[in-house]
Chain A
């Protein structure tokens, strides 16, 4: 338990860590949307290369970033299989008959499945770069700034931000507490790690009850402390750390916007300019058309 650092923040110094959190969140959102507009394998390769470069300059080891996909492998495989089985367009590669039901596995289905899996993993990789390089506090602060316009439609953004930052602030403490209580009960001979599911739940009670008691106690104390300082959520207050855009932030931002523009060009412009080759139902899209033609020329 103690070995797990809270959240994913990886404390090293780098260019990526230094970028303004607002920009990072904005860019990540943009990235997440644009990943779904990538149509050609060529763009996938380029985007992947870009991600690798960003990870390299963020000084977060590759193995740690890639660990974040590990938990999603099941989801990836599941969506891929669904895609393969439920796409009926394209050239049939393998027809499967189960009684009267016929499921055709087509090249287009496999094409979709691979692209979907690529999109998912790039989505996770990209967003984990954000969490690896930004502290939870920075994230909430930046979110508060970004969501500020919502206050005009009576959404209490500041309250929500405070709730979030308090929650984040308390997680490490509660984890420490859990650790301590678990040790204390283990020292009293509690057997927490073995037994079947129900036994384990029952064995967790001596840990959970004191944990809840202490969580409520902490909440009480914090509420008193806030009260004692006349805290008022609706009051106007200044920030201790004011976000200030640096030149490098803007450079990073516009560089990324340029890449997004390329993704959209790839999807909409190239498809409209060049006629894709006719391969039955199998679609070749975007820059892949050029790659396809190049391969055709080389192989004759």
Chain B
């Protein structure tokens, strides 16, 4: 149990007219290996909460236990914050705004240097971190961070945290302000970091479609309290309550809910576009089993059009047994959702 939070409360500007309760009696346990998503409105307390985990805010009430370190409101014993920050890495919103050094290498080295590591160890970690975020170390190390592109800057900033090799990595809105391509890359990076760097990852995001793609557990903050703490598949049973809080639900869940309202029940555990696609195909095949031989038809959830799959795509989805002749590498690079999931802004509700 790496992180245990008990009865945590926090108030900004107490006893003034600006007083604001940011956290009210928060209890949470975060397990090793969790891929935790945190959602909630602006001002719901989620930022204040994650700042506690990194020791950036001293608890006013309650306690935060991280590995063997205990943060309490008491002045003594003093917690070794450096030790804490080497274990918990924190990537703030728009992390590229914190870059300051004249070269990328120096900037990434800032964190590990502060940990008091030896020069060789620092250099080694910097190199691994820069490579881990997918940048070319030799090409980028002597460049000024300010002359890189937006997405590159963000990766350098993330590398600066990874270089400290934290066991827990917290990211606040990691994809904010990026274009769809940049978003995709950062999301893939986060998935990669989960297996190669920090086994426990906490992500705050506004984009529910994004968070459902990797989180295995979601905590919902509402009005300074935890409203829900559920495994990802179960959270959207509370769709209506979430929407009442003004939170968005995944588009796939919306489709499922609308279909249910029209008498088609696809089940409860559909959250992502891929889940939905599989469920719809399965349902379709139940009804139109005769057509499978000719090629399966896919119901496109974004614009209600029907599409015929190629035999390769059907293979990929497991609708027909894989043929041996197809080279493995080729079938691996092809993603099942490539053709069937165009990113359209149109919602199915608008079509009703």
Q: Could you tell me which A residues sit within 8 Å of B by CB distance? A: 2-3, 5, 10-12, 177, 180-181, 183-191, 205-207, 209-210, 213-214
Contact = CB atoms under 8 A, between A and B. Distances in A.
B86 interface: yes
Interface in B43-62: 51, 54, 56
13 contacts: A5-B13, A11-B18, A180-B92, A181-B97, A184-B98, A187-B54, A187-B89, A189-B82, A189-B85, A189-B110, A189-B114, A189-B164, A210-B100
Contacts of B174: none
A189 B16 contact: no
B100 A183 contact: no
Contacts of B51: 183
A190 B89 contact: no
Contact of B114 (A5, A11, A191): A191
Given A180-B92, A184-B95, A189 B13 contact: no
Q: Which DSSP category, helix, strand, loop or mixed, fits chain A's interface?
A: helix
A210 B110 contact: no
B56 A186 contact: yes
Contact of A187 (B56, B99, B146): B56
Nearest to A207: B100
Nearest to A184: B98
B98 A185 contact: yes
Contact of A188 (B17, B93, B146, B161): B161
B111 A189 contact: yes
Given A5-B18, A186-B56, A188-B110, A210 B164 contact: no
B85 A188 contact: yes
B250 interface: no
B89 A11 contact: no
Interface string B10-28: 0011001110000000000
B126 interface: no
B46 to A, nearest CB: 15
B160 interface: yes
Interface string B189-231: 0000000000000000000000000000000000000000000
B90 interface: yes
B98 A210 contact: yes
B79 interface: no
Nearest to A187: B90
A183 B47 CA distance: 12
Given A2-B12, A210-B97, 15 more contacts: A3-B12, A12-B17, A177-B97, A181-B97, A184-B90, A187-B54, A187-B85, A187-B90, A188-B85, A188-B164, A189-B82, A189-B111, A190-B110, A210-B98, A213-B146
